[in-house]
Amino acid sequence: MSCGKQGFLDQTVTSDLTEDLVFSDSLYTVQFLNDIYVDIGFSEHANRFENGGLDAACDESRPQQSTDVTTTVLFSSGTITASSIATDAWLKPYANIRKVNQLLKHLPQAPIEAHQKELMAAEARFLRAWYYFILLKHYGGIPLVGDTVYAFTDHIPAKRNTYAECVDYIVGECDAVRNVLPYKQIRGEYGRAGGASCDALKARTLLYAASPLYNRSNSNPLLGYTSADPERWKKAADAAQRIITSGQYALYEENNNPPGYSFFYVFTLRENPEYIVARMQGGNKELEEIWQPPSRGAAKGGFPYQETVDAFGMQNGKAIDEDGSGYDPQNPYAGRDPRLAYSFIKDQTVIANNQGAMAPVNIYLTANGQPSSQDAIYSGTPTGYYTNKMLNPEHAANFIHGGQRCFPLIRYAEVLLNYAEALNEYSGPGTEVYQAMEAVRKRAGLNPYQLPEGLSQAEMRERIRNERRVELAFEGHRFWDVRRWMLGDTQNQQMHGMEVRRGNGQVTYKVVVVDKHNFRPEMYYWPIPMSEVGKSPELEQNPGY
């Protein structure tokens, strides 16, 4: 069961192993469980579709130019179809759900102590619930297969369960195993599912279920509840509060000088007090190799839009278009929210090069409009930005060294924002809503970090939504947030970038048109891949596809 500091999620080569042999050996059995963790973060991967992740499939970033028509391009252009959609969201969860069922079937006979079996079964059931939630957020209600292990010769039921049945199943599994597992995994077990993982998945599932897309009078029970119920917000708030009151997790604030530095630094730490669920990995340069500019050997992922940058307000806590903010369009990065510098590589951001030396990234055009380098706008980036979130400035993609970063899937800052949103929707902006929001803003380095007193529920709602956009940028949330909030109009607009020119002792900033995004109402849900629908008349396709 021990999870070492390195490689507990490494793939196990099992091509020459039979099922009986695997589960008659304790080491192979543990490795089989470890293998189910490997795909845990595929949905949020920064290069999921080979030219960007979910950030590039929504209004956060522009996809990398590609000769292939990818899912990122199809979503941003509004042309997604059941025959062109990526199949990973369907195939990977069900493959791992089947692995869980195989493990649960054979675990009683494995030569492992009873207590360890109990823990392994609980971890496996959490992972199964995790993969079901990935299916649920993509498609709505999906077939629940229970504990059955189907062979390819069996008739596999393909009728979709209702959205409500799927939510109840995921929540029920989380509740069933949360007390079996240690609440917080530490030392050699760090990275494995614990009781807090169950609570966090439950809270996120209930938050989504309470959101406008699902918590309304849906005529199709596969796509949500058939009637609205405000008590669903209360259930989501209660689930998040359980983690908060446990006292086991906290925002990382130990290294917050200069202001906001701890927001950057937490992502460089393999172990920290904030990660509840994470995709574990050994030393790596993975995100640097995707997001850094061409001069550092990367630029494979999405390029942030100006709209995403503009969502980051000022260090004084005001939005850039708010009276008294102090925002200057010709000095647009002065006095900004400290998280901006740690989320975007903009012109003259200093990061390491392939020699390990710290050097600025030249994204500007010269006075006559020529690119200053291969990293410049229109040359390396179409938007004038690269992503800097979670990157270590001392590690270039083409440098020899990497870091110990793991990718956060649920962290404490999200739990606080989940709690604030659910409680505000249920009972309005009370003291606890303010406290949760202000904790995130304080760690961010805002001064003052306090929100204005007397905000209405609608005003607080907008504050919470923008805080999620900023704090959780490029972590796989924005794509789903705009859908569950039914804000398709934000995905149907002209997108922009920033052109910087330097020369003759002057610097000018100009917002430029990049591309147009399109959105159709059916795109609130993913189409089930045509290859899967064609296998059974029982499997109902989502509307519009």
Tens of pLDDT, residues 159-173: 999 999 999 999 999
Would you list the domain boundaries of the chain? 1-38+87-181
Contact criterion met (CB below 8 Å) for 383 and 62: yes
User: Is the pLDDT at 7 greater than 90, yes or no?
Assistant: no
Tokens standing for residue 468 = 């999620």
Instruction: Please name which of 528, 45, 443, 56 lies closest in space to residue 259, comparing C-alpha atoms.
Output: 443
Number of H helices, E strands in the chain: 16, 11
User: Is the pLDDT at 4 greater than 50, yes or no?
Assistant: no
For residue 351, what pLDDT band results from cuts at 50, 70 and 90?
A: very high
Tens of pLDDT, residues 178-237: 999 999 999 989 999 999 999 999 999 999 999 999 999 999 999 999 999 999 999 999
Contact criterion met (CB below 8 Å) for 519 and 80: no
Q: Is the bond preceding 230 in cis, omega lying within 30 degrees of 0?
A: no
Q: Looking at residue 352, what DSSP letter applies?
A: E
Contact criterion met (CB below 8 Å) for 215 and 205: no
For the segment 84-92, the average pLDDT, to the nearest whole number, is 97
User: Is the pLDDT at 14 greater than 60, yes or no?
Assistant: no
Instruction: Please name which of 181, 205, 184, 185 lies closest in space to residue 125, comparing C-alpha atoms.
Output: 181
The predicted structure's pLDDT at residue 303: 96
User: Is the pLDDT at 15 greater than 70, yes or no?
Assistant: no
State pTM to two decimals: 0.94
Instruction: Please name which of 139, 137, 146, 145 lies closest in space to residue 205, comparing C-alpha atoms.
Output: 137
The predicted structure's pLDDT at residue 151: 83
User: Is the pLDDT at 9 greater than 60, yes or no?
Assistant: no
> Taking the mean position of all CA atoms in its chain, how far away is CA 323?
33
Q: Report the SS3 class of residue 498.
A: strand
What is the torsional sign of CA 65, 70, 75, 80? positive
The predicted structure's pLDDT at residue 128: 98
> Taking the mean position of all CA atoms in its chain, how far away is CA 533?
27
The predicted structure's pLDDT at residue 104: 97
Q: Which long-range CB contacts under 8 A does 328-333 form with residues at least 24 apart?
A: 329/509, 330/508, 330/509, 331/509, 332/498, 332/509
Out of 13-17, 244-248, 386-390, which region has the weakest mean confidence (pLDDT)?
A: 13-17
Portion of the chain with pLDDT greater than 70, in percent: 97
The predicted structure's pLDDT at residue 469: 98
Q: What is the dihedral of CA 254, 260, 265, 266, to 10 degrees?
A: 70
Dist CA 303 CA 344 (whole Å):
9
Q: Looking at residue 372, what DSSP letter applies?
A: S
Q: Spell out the CATH class of 1-38+87-181.
A: mainly alpha
